[in-house]
Amino acid sequence: MIRKLLCPDLLDTGPVNDRIMAVRDGVVNFYILKAPAGLVCIDTGWRPACVSRGFEALGLRTQDVVAVMLTHLHWDHARCLPLFPAARVFVGACDEPTLIARGLTPGQTVEPVGSDRTVTVGGLAVRAINTPGHTPGSMAYIAEDKSLFTGDALSLKRGRVFPFAPWFATDRKALDRSIRKLAAMRGVECLFTAHSGMGQGGESAFAHWHATTDVLQEEVRP
Ligand SMILES: [Zn+2]
């Protein structure tokens, strides 16, 4: 009930399309991508029993996850990392991998990713985009140049983009610049957030955010 109030647009665990699945773990969604050779997770959720149940419901096995791409290292995004023993783990180059080092299993490796680096995992090309603001090392990822996973950079309300929890951002100006960067990307068909479900990409999703920031800039102008 509380999670419905806090995060009414979260996706239930299930397939989004034939390549992407959502898992709901309390107040957060994370995503599983079917790659040609294995599964790729964008974040991990935070409660092992719930995440294991999610995989089971989807008919998937956690040991088939070949890569985990972390948007950032907050507990609700990264805590279930140990469930994926065979995974290459990608974290933002400006993040602090020692924060997760203790939870790694012997088969896992941590690889920092910088902005605009494309990595091929399980035969799937995923581009990393640094989006500092929520945390200094926050990352977004885009798969097949059309599915954009935003982590906690932004939230969606009725299909429109807003900064995610701006009062909670470590750097609010950097967060705005990061959203501007995502807004400028062309060809994005779907946005996948961690706490407010998914929506269509494109200019209409960002139009309200542009309008809001323009108003704010007007207000601070002398
Ligand atoms: Zn966070």
Q: Is 44 a residue whose pLDDT tops 90?
A: yes
Inter-residue contact 45 to 25 (CB < 8 Å): yes
pLDDT computed for residue 222 by the predictor: 38
Both tokens of residue 58? 């989807």
DSSP string, 143-159: ETTTEEEEETSEEEETT
What is the predicted pLDDT for the residue at 88?
95
Give me the residue label for tokens 């800039």: 217
C-alpha angle 77-82-88 in degrees, rounded to nearest 5: 85
Average pLDDT in the chain? 89
Name residues with Cβ closer than 5 Å to ligand 1, which is an ion. 74, 152
Beta strand spans in 88-134 (E): 88-92, 109-113, 118-121, 124-130
Helix, strand and coil in the chain, % to nearest 5: 30, 30, 40
Q: State yes or no: pLDDT of 209 exceeds 80.
A: no
Whole-number Å distance, alpha carbon 222 to ligand 1 midpoint, is 34
pLDDT at 5: 59
Ranking 26-30, 74-78, 103-107, 207-211 by mean pLDDT, the lowest is: 207-211
**What is the average pLDDT across 100-117?**
83
Average pLDDT over residues 92-109: 79
Task: Report CA(164)–ligand 1 centroid distance (Å).
Answer: 9
The pLDDT assigned to 214 comes to 56
Cα-to-centroid distance, 221 and ligand 1 (Å): 31
Q: Which amino acid is at 38?
A: G
pLDDT in tens, 179-201: 999 998 989 999 999 999 999 98
pLDDT at 70: 96
- Residue-wise pLDDT tens digits, 19-38: 999 999 999 999 999 999 99
pLDDT tens profile 74-83: 999 999 999 9
- CA-nearest of 84, 110, 81, 115 to 98 is 110
What 3-state class would DSSP assign to 9? coil
CATH no. for 2-220: 3.60.15.10
In this predicted structure, the answer to whether residue 177 has a pLDDT above a threshold of 60 is yes
Distance (angstroms) between ligand 1 centre and the Cα of 168 equals 9
- Which of 171, 143, 159 shows the shortest CA–CA distance to 197? 159
Q: Is pLDDT above 90 for 97?
A: no
User: Cα of 186 to ligand 1 centre, how many Å?
Assistant: 25
pLDDT of residue 106: 82
* Per-residue pLDDT, 2: 56
pLDDT, residue 181, reads 92
Task: Say which residue, 57 or 158, is predicted with more confidence.
Answer: 57
- Residues 140-144: contacts with CB within 8 Å, 24+ apart? 140/71, 140/178, 140/182, 141/42, 141/69, 141/71, 142/185, 142/188, 143/20, 143/33, 143/40
